[in-house]
């Protein structure tokens, strides 16, 4: 546990504190107060997509310090206007209007509110195991284990459908390859529960907190069709999948579907607090005509918008999508080699530089082994590699999955070094 000297006045919020203060961060590396170096294979909280303290991000913050950091919410600055233009240029015509907030939860909250307003409905469908935030509306559509327990009733009208987990089919129907029957079963249950006031479906392209679940090809076009048949809007939460991490600017470009709402966060801010809710001209105009209100203290702040512009510039200039595919292939090959060597690795999955490694007691039974997963994670940290373990109580029991998502600027040598530390940690734990 952390020394009482630095954590005794802090509220604990659901994850253990690392037992050393972090003093500095650059690129893929962290150093604690004692000078020990760590490789960061989670990009901070999945936000330092172009590495920690990238020089262009520092320059952007310095520019903001010479102009404006924060303004009255009704005032606009040039960085905010330009960031909206840049995003519109990157996105298809149906995603042309942006609203800039601080966190992914806020962005999802705004999208849910707009979807309810424009449709006139209030029922929102999410996927089991999902994570969309901790504010009221977003939390109501978050279906990850302890995130819901003990807080009383959630928003009326929220429902979940099974996540398309091919490794652990939630309806015990398929094995290895999802045929999307789980979606049909889920919507049968939604239709049975609906009061006829359906508003939206909210989903992540890859369900990260659920254990890095990758829906099969064709899943999202089918999901959009289900929405259209019911007059619902599709919200895609690309907190972790945008800006090159999967090899393209946005995950939906790989999915064959354009959502009604796109929410961005994490990577957009390059390590600062920035999120966006994006929708079409028509939906924005309809919501505006109906009196849409969603004012926060830091909506349209100039400092994070300046940083967002710098992050997009780096992504394009360094072609980080292509780099993610190349470095991600090297990382995945290394993880699959470890899978061949160690029985405790049941599955390796994901895309680009967003990968998951499921830890099991044995591959035949596929029983999750969270204790071993946590022990290896802690040993890796001791050896100089920061990664985290995630999982959901949905879809077939508690999973134990390493989330491996280093910055897109990570070098091949750093990938190899991280893989070597993982193997040393596995060996040490299994030898106990």
Q: Which residues are annotated as catalytic?
A: 131, 204, 237, 240, 266, 403
Written as six digits, the tokens of 415 are 């990938």
Q: What is the DSSP letter of 27?
A: B
Q: What are phi and psi of 419, to 5 degrees?
A: -65, -40
Q: What are phi and psi of 203, to 5 degrees?
A: -150, 155
Q: At what angle do helices 219-230 and 181-193 cross, to 10 degrees?
A: 20
The three-class DSSP label of residue 120 is coil
Residue in 76, 22, 82 with CA at minimum distance from that of residue 307: 82
User: CA–CA separation, 62 vs 55, rounded Å?
Assistant: 11
User: Is residue 1 within 8 Å of 16, Cβ to Cβ?
Assistant: yes
User: CA–CA separation, 185 vs 190, rounded Å?
Assistant: 9
User: CA–CA separation, 308 vs 336, rounded Å?
Assistant: 35
User: CA–CA separation, 336 vs 331, rounded Å?
Assistant: 9
Phi/psi class of residue 350: alpha, beta or left (left: φ > 0; alpha: ψ in -120 to 50)?
Answer: left
User: CA–CA separation, 251 vs 156, rounded Å?
Assistant: 30
Helix-strand-coil percent breakdown of the chain, rounded to 5?
A: 40, 20, 45
The three-class DSSP label of residue 348 is strand
């Amino acid at each position: 546990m952390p020394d009482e000297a630095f954590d005794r006045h802090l509220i604990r919020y659901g994850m253990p504190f690392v037992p050393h203060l972090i003093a500095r961060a650059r690129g893929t590396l962290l150093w604690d107060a004692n000078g020990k170096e760590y490789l960061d294979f989670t990009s901070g909280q999945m936000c330092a997509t172009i590495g920690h303290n990238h020089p262009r991000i520092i320059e952007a913050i310095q520019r903001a310090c010479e102009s404006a950091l924060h303004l009255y919410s009704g005032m606009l600055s040039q960085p905010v206007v330009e960031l909206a233009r840049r995003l519109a240029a990157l996105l298809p015509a149906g995603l042309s209007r942006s609203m800039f907030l601080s966190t992914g939860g806020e962005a999802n909250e705004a999208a849910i509110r707009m979807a309810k307003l424009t449709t006139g409905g209030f029922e929102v469908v999410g996927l089991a195991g999902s994570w969309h935030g901790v504010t009221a509306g977003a939390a109501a559509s978050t279906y990850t284990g302890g995130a819901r327990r003990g807080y009383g009733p959630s928003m009326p009208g929220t429902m979940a459908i099974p996540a398309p987990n091919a490794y652990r089919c939630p309806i015990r129907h398929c094995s290895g390859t999802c045929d999307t029957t789980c979606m049909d079963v889920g919507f049968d249950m939604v239709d049975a529960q609906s009061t006829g006031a359906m508003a939206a479906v909210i989903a992540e392209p890859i369900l990260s907190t659920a254990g890095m679940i990758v829906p099969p090809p064709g899943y999202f076009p089918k999901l959009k069709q289900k929405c259209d048949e019911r007059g619902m809007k599709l919200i895609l939460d690309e907190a972790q999948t945008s800006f090159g991490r999967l090899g393209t600017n946005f995950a939906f470009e790989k999915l064959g579907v354009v959502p009604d709402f796109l929410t961005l966060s994490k990577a957009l801010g390059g390590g600062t607090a920035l999120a966006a809710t994006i929708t079409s001209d028509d939906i924005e105009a309809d919501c505006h005509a109906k009196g849409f209100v969603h004012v926060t203290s830091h909506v349209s702040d100039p400092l994070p918008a300046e940083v967002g512009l710098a992050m997009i510039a780096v992504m394009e200039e360094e072609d980080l999508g292509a780099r993610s595919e190349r470095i991600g292939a090297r990382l995945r090959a290394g993880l699959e080699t470890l899978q061949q060597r160690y029985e405790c690795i049941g599955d390796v999955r994901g895309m680009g530089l967003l990968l998951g490694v499921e830890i099991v007691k044995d591959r035949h039974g596929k029983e999750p082994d969270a204790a071993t997963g946590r022990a290896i994670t802690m040993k890796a940290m001791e050896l100089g590699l920061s990664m985290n373990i995630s999982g959901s109580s949905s879809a077939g029991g508690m999973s134990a999955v390493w989330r491996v998502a280093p910055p897109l600027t990570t070098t091949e040598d750093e990938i190899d070094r991280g893989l070597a530390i993982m193997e040393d940690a596995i060996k040490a734990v299994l030898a106990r």
